[in-house]
């Protein structure tokens, strides 16, 4: 069963079990995916679903940061539940050691020496790391290694 089928199946199960949190979260993902398909003329597939889920998780994490500033614990808990639900669909996250090995291999392969070579390294490692780690932290790690 691919990821799209799993999402649709879980959506039906959440409806039957009247699990409102999961149902609302999955509907939001499905709606965001439909918007992405319509607006960007993309094809519905697992890769697009992972991208959409990743964006949804980032949006919720950003909201949690703001809710902490406003001391809104009720909303923090709600959004954290949604993040937990969405995380079930994401691939296993890579460890720091695995990420560092991929970065080191890419630096060696491209012969990168300065931060100007960052684009070449990112082109090489993005397919390996996409949706399996935070790409912002990867960029920062590469910058540290090249300075």
75-114: pLDDT as tens digits: 999 999 999 999 999 988 889 899 999 999 999 998 888 8
Query: What number is the average pLDDT over the span 4-32?
Result: 94
CATH of 3-87, one of 1.10.1510.10, 1.10.540.10, 1.20.1250.20, 2.40.50.140: 1.10.1510.10
Tokens describing residue 73: 């614990």
Alpha-carbon gap, residue 87 to 144, rounded angstroms: 29
Provide the whole-model pTM: 0.79
Q: Based on the number of CB atoms within 10 Å of its own CB, is 29 exposed (0-12), middle (13-18) or buried (19 or more)?
A: buried
Domains 3-87 and 96-146 alike in fold: no
For helices 135-146 and 118-129, angle between their N-to-C axes, nearest 10 degrees: 140
């Amino acid at each position: 069963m691919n990821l799209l089928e799993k999402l649709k199946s879980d959506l039906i199960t959440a409806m039957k079990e009247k699990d409102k949190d999961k149902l609302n979260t999955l509907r939001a993902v499905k709606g965001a995916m439909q918007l992405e398909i319509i607006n960007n003329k993309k094809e519905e597939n697992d890769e697009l679903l992972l991208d959409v889920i990743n964006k949804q998780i980032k949006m919720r994490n950003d909201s949690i940061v703001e809710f902490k500033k406003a001391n809104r614990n009720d909303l923090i808990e709600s959004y954290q539940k949604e993040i937990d639900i969405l995380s079930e669909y994401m691939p296993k996250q890579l460890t720091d050691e695995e990420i560092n090995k991929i970065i080191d291999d890419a630096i060696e392969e491209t012969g990168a020496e300065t931060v100007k070579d960052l684009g070449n390294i990112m082109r090489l490692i993005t397919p390996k790391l996409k949706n399996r780690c935070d790409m912002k932290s990867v960029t920062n790690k590469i910058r540290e290694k090249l300075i």
